[in-house]
Amino acid sequence: MGPEIKKIGVLTSGGDSPGMNAAIRSVVRTCAYMKVDCVGIYRGYQGMIEGDFKPMDARSVNNIINKGGTILKSARCDEFRTPEGRKMAYEQLRAEGIDAFVVIGGDGSFHGAMTFNEEYHFPIIGIPGTIDNDIFGTSNTVGFDTAMNTVVDVIDKIRDTASSHNRLFFVEVMGRDVGHIALNAGVGAGAEEILIPEENRGLERLLESLKRSKKSGKSSSIVVVAEGDKIGKSVFELKEYVEEHLPIYDVRVSVLGHMQRGGAPSCYDRVLASRMGVKAVESLLEGMTNFMVGVQNNKIILTPISKAIKGHTKIDKELIRVSEIMTT
């Protein structure tokens, strides 16, 4: 076990997600409870390099558990990918007396943390904060549950107008490499079709499905498309393709975009973030390092951060089947 840890830094990094503030609050309050100092590191690794630090006590995080975004701000930081950048970061941390840090973010953020740990043997723990749920070693990332709710709320609204006009809507949701949001929110919103990066079932199948849907007497259709869908057509090209081949449809497009990252976190995400923050601080104090906190089977667990980065989450085949049955 390394030297005693007396001061812990906390930062958010990469794309923000709802519940990051709840995770920050948990890290800060657990430090206070454990009588360890806590320092907020602003703007992710960029702020680490620049020494943009602020001490935080239990009251610094009042009234943030229900707020979207991150009070510590976030940023992507190319400099931290260079040895020079990481050296500056290390020097800033030492100057501030920070002995370890908790990084809340996604894949890229964990990669940076791991490299930093290798070079400087600096204790780090990761908390998975991203709406995409694409991190191995945890069944849920902080923000995923909220994003699903945001998407179904919006599609519920779109369906109101779709079914009033007998229209077909293509709705693009986030998920560059993974279709978790698309698949879950698609099933939750009662979508007729769901196009995800993990499966390319071709345009023919889409046309067939839409024809069947029309024949079955449905008055409107929603097709949910993940950004990174492998058919390789943008949602606007899909619209044109369908209008050409199925002129019976009046097709519209909606790209949900960044609203999916914001909003008050769901209860689940707040509780998950709170649990993970406790575990992160406790693990550092117990001498653990280079782990990511995750949840499996509703238990909080640790996964080596190297495995979290290299592993791949898999799309749930059973859920794909459920989605097909539901569009009967």
Is residue 148 within 8 Å of 181, Cβ to Cβ? Answer: yes
Q: Both tokens of residue 136? A: 């191995």
Q: Both tokens of residue 119? A: 């070079």
Q: Tell me which amino acid residue 279 is.
A: K
Residue 95 vs 322, nearer CB to a copy of itself: 322
Residue 291 beta carbon to a copy of itself: minimum distance, rounded to whole angstroms: 17
Q: Where are the alpha helices (DSSP H) in the chain?
A: 20-34, 44-50, 83-96, 107-120, 144-165, 180-188, 202-215, 235-245, 267-285, 305-310, 317-326
Residue 163 beta carbon to a copy of itself: minimum distance, rounded to whole angstroms: 6
Residue 94 vs 176, nearer CB to a copy of itself: 176
Of 88, 48, 72, 118, give the one whose Cα is nearest residue 309.
118
Q: Is 87 annotated as a binding residue?
A: no
Of 272, 311, 16, 314, give the one whose Cα is nearest residue 183.
314
Residue 203 vs 282, nearer CB to a copy of itself: 282
Between 180-188 and 144-165, two packed helices, what is the crossing angle to 10 degrees?
50
Residue 36 vs 114, nearer CB to a copy of itself: 36
Residue 121 beta carbon to a copy of itself: minimum distance, rounded to whole angstroms: 28
Q: Is 107 annotated as a binding residue?
A: yes
Is residue 17 within 8 Å of 131, Cβ to Cβ? Answer: yes
269 is catalytic: no
Q: Is 109 annotated as a binding residue?
A: yes
Q: Is 218 annotated as a binding residue?
A: yes
Residue 299 beta carbon to a copy of itself: minimum distance, rounded to whole angstroms: 8
The neighbour count for residue 273, using CB atoms within 10 Å, is 28
Is residue 251 within 8 Å of 169, Cβ to Cβ? Answer: yes
Strand order in the sheet with 37-41: 53-55, 37-41, 7-12, 100-105, 124-128, 291-296, 299-304
Residue 6 vs 321, nearer CB to a copy of itself: 321
The neighbour count for residue 248, using CB atoms within 10 Å, is 12
Of 309, 304, 301, 308, give the one whose Cα is nearest residue 275.
301
* Catalytic choice (37, 132, 134, 269): 132
Q: Is 191 annotated as a binding residue?
A: yes
Q: Is 213 annotated as a binding residue?
A: no
Q: Is 259 annotated as a binding residue?
A: yes
Residue 89 vs 253, nearer CB to a copy of itself: 253
CA diameter of the chain: 71
Q: Is 227 annotated as a binding residue?
A: yes
Residue 49 beta carbon to a copy of itself: minimum distance, rounded to whole angstroms: 16
Residue 212 beta carbon to a copy of itself: minimum distance, rounded to whole angstroms: 11
Rounded Cα distance, 266 and 286, in Å: 30
Rounded Cα distance, 196 and 140, in Å: 19
Q: Tell me which amino acid residue 175 is.
A: G
* Residue list for the binding site for Mg(2+): 107
* Residue list for the binding site for substrate: 130-132, 167, 174-176, 227, 252, 258-261
* Residue list for the binding site: 15, 25-29, 76-77, 106-109, 130-132, 159, 167, 174-176, 190-192, 218-220, 227, 252, 258-261
Residues with a known catalytic role = 132
* Residue list for the binding site for ADP: 25-29, 159, 190-192, 218-220
* Residue list for the binding site for ATP: 15, 76-77, 106-109
